Amino acid sequence: MSKVEPAELVIIGAGPAGMAAAITSANYGNRVVLLDEQPSPGGQIYRNVTHSTHLRDKILGTDFQHGRALTSKLKQPQIDYRPNAKVWRVDDDGQICYSIEDKATRITGKQIIIATGALERPVPVPGWTLPGAMTAGAVQILLKSSGLLPTQAVLAGAGPLLYLLAAQMIRAGVPPLAIVETQQRRDYISAARYLPVAMGNWPLLGKGLRLLAEIRRAGTPRYTTANNIKITGSSDVQGIQFSSSGKHHEIECNCVLLHQGVVPNTQISRLLRLTHSWHPQQHCFVPNTVAHGKTDNPIFQIAGDGAGISGALAAEHQGKLCALNALQQLGAADQTIIETEQSVTLKQLNREHRARPFLDTLYAPPTEALAPASDTIICRCEEVTAGAIRQQIPKGCTGPNQTKAFSRCGMGPCQGRYCGLTVTEILARENALAHDEVGAYRIRAPIKPVTVSELASLHE
C-alpha cells in the first residue's frame, strides 16, 4: 500500500467557499492542500474564470469577474492547489482517497473542510430525458467552459439562475425563445412576509431586478404561473407544452433548459455518516452544523452551499469562518485575532442570509417537479419511473434504501445524486411520513466512478 501523505488542513472543493478557506488559512501562514476535480479553480459560479476571454466576461457579468480576485490569491506558496483531483472516498479518521489522471493517492488531514457546493435540483417532468432537454446550469457550464449556447431554447422553471442565464443568452446574441415560470400567485403572497428582512440585502435584490429589466428590454416572452409542463418530441426535443394563466401553450424549440434551484451536494457528509436534517424551505437535506461549519465529527467542517444553499458571497464568508475554526483547532493562530476576524465575517454572512427565506419561498419548486406523475422517469441511470417507486410501497418500503434494492433506483453511476431527493419526496407523501423519518440513500465509497487500475495504483 502506498504511503498516506500527512497534512494539517485539507480542503475539498475550490469554489468560493474552498478558495476563501484556503486564502484565510494561508494569510495566517498555515499550509493547506486544496483538492478539486475541475481543471481550474472557481467552482460553479466562477468556473473557468482563469481562462475566460474579454467577450465571455462581458456575457457572464460582473459577479463572474469577482471570481478572478479569489483565484489570483491562490497563487501563493502556502496553498498547494491540486486540480483534476477527484475525491472518491473520505473516512471518518480524516483519510481521503483521490485520483489525478487515473492515479489514486491518499492524504490525511488533521482538519478537513468539505466545500463541495451544490447540485442542480433534478426537474423530472415528462420528456426531460429527451436529447435537447438539459438543466440551465448544464448550459452555463458549456458557456463558461467552451463559449457554447443553444440557439432555439426555452427556459422553464423557477429561480434566480434562470433569469441570470436568460440575461447571459441575451448578451451573447442568442436570447431564449421564452421563459416559462412556475412560481404561482400563492408563492408571491407567501414570500411577501419575508420581503422587509430581505431588503437588508438590497444589493442582491437589486441585481435580480436589473436582470428582469434586461429581459424585459430584450422583449423575451415570459409565461408566468405555469404548470403541467411537458417536453415533446419522439427522438429529441421538438417543443414544450404547458398551461399558463389557465391557457394551454405550445412552443416549438429544439432545446428546453430546466431549473428549479440548487440543493447541497451531501455525498461526502453522507458517506461520513454525519447527521442531516430536512430543510422545509429549501426542500432538501442539509448536514447539521454548529458555529458556522462544525459538524458532529471534530475533524470535519462544511462550508458553502454544501451546508445549505446561501449563494456565492455567503459561501466565501462561510469558507473563511471554517478556516478560522480550523486554525483554532490546530492552535495555528492568535486567539484574539481570530475572534475579531470571526465577528466581522459573521456580520457579513448574516447580511447575505437576509434574502434567503424570501428567495426560497418565492422560488419554491412545484409539486409536479418534486413528486412527478407515475409515468415519468426519475432515475435516469437505471430508467426507473416514479410509478415504479410507488409500486414498492404496498410491499412495505418506507425508505429509499429499500426501494433501491427492489427497483435499482439510485444504483447507477451517479449513485443516487439525482434521484435521491425525488425518491424521499415520493415516499414521504405516499406514506404520510416526515422527510427526516424517510431519510436518504446510504452513501458508500467510491462516491465517483473509479477504475480497477486506479484502485490498484494505491498499492504501487
Ligand X SMILES: Cc1cc2nc3c(=O)[nH]c(=O)nc-3n(C[C@H](O)[C@H](O)[C@H](O)COP(=O)(O)OP(=O)(O)OC[C@H]3O[C@@H](n4cnc5c(N)ncnc54)[C@H](O)[C@@H]3O)c2cc1C
Is 366 a binding residue for ligand X by CB under 6 A? The answer is no
Instruction: Tell me how far the alpha carbon of residue 377 is from its chain's centroid.
Output: 21
CB of 12 to ligand X, least distance (A): 6
Residues in region 420-449 near ligand X by CB under 6 A: 448
Total residues in contact with ligand X, by rule CB under 6 A: 37
CB < 8 Å & 24+ apart, contacts of 232-235: 232/127, 233/127, 233/130, 233/132, 235/130, 235/131
Nearer to ligand X, 311 or 400 (CB): 311
Q: Show the site string, 108-147: x = touches ligand X by CB under 6 A, - = not.
A: -------xxxxxx----------------x--xx------
Handedness of CA 328, 330, 331, 332 (dihedral sign): negative
Q: Show the site string, 19-38: x = touches ligand X by CB under 6 A, - = not.
A: ----------------xxxx
Cis omega before residue 446 (within 30°)? yes
CB of 150 to ligand X, least distance (A): 16
φ, ψ at 378 (rounded to 5°): -110, -30
Q: Which stretch binds ligand X (CB under 6 A): 84-92, 172-180, 235-243, 429-437?
A: 84-92
Detail the DSSP E strand segments found in 125-203.
Answer: 133-135, 153-158, 178-181
Half-sphere exposure of 191 (CA within 13 A, CB side): 19
Angle at 124 between CA 123 and CA 126, to 5 degrees: 125
CB of 242 to ligand X, least distance (A): 23
Which amino acid belongs to residue 239?
A: G
Find residue 10's DSSP bridge partners. 33, 112
Q: How many residues does the chain have?
A: 460
Nearer to ligand X, 147 or 233 (CB): 147
By three-state DSSP, how is residue 227 classified?
A: strand
CB of 13 to ligand X, least distance (A): 3
Q: Tell which one of 255, 315, 322, 327 touches ligand X (CB under 6 A).
A: 315
CB of 374 to ligand X, least distance (A): 28
Nearer to ligand X, 118 or 438 (CB): 118
Is 304 a binding residue for ligand X by CB under 6 A? The answer is yes
> Residue 36, class by beta-carbon neighbours within 10 Å (0-12 exposed, 13-18 middle, 19+ buried)?
buried
Q: Show the site string, 205-244: x = touches ligand X by CB under 6 A, - = not.
A: ----------------------------------------
Nearer to ligand X, 306 or 439 (CB): 306
DSSP 348-413: HHHHHHTTHHHHHHHTPPPHHHHS--TTSEEETTTTEEHHHHHTTGGGT--SHHHHHHHH-TT-ST
Residues in region 258-287 near ligand X by CB under 6 A: 262
Q: Which stretch binds ligand X (CB under 6 A): 2-10, 225-233, 303-311, 361-369?
A: 303-311
Is 44 a binding residue for ligand X by CB under 6 A? The answer is yes
Nearer to ligand X, 159 or 366 (CB): 159
Q: Tell which one of 311, 365, 366, 439 touches ligand X (CB under 6 A).
A: 311
Q: Tell which one of 9, 154, 155, 161 touches ligand X (CB under 6 A).
A: 161
Nearer to ligand X, 399 or 420 (CB): 420
For 360, the grid coordinates are: 426560497
Q: For 283, left (φ over 0), alpha (ψ -120 to 50), or beta?
A: left
Asked if 133 and 256 count as a contact pair (C-beta separation under 8 A), the reply is yes
302/295 Cα distance (integer angstroms): 7
Q: Which stretch binds ligand X (CB under 6 A): 15-23, 227-235, 280-288, 452-460?
A: 15-23
Q: For 443, which DSSP code?
A: -
Q: For 328, which DSSP code?
A: H
CB of 98 to ligand X, least distance (A): 7
Residues that bind ligand X (CB under 6 A): 12-18, 35-38, 43-45, 63, 85-87, 115-120, 137, 140-141, 161, 164, 262, 304-306, 311-312, 315, 448
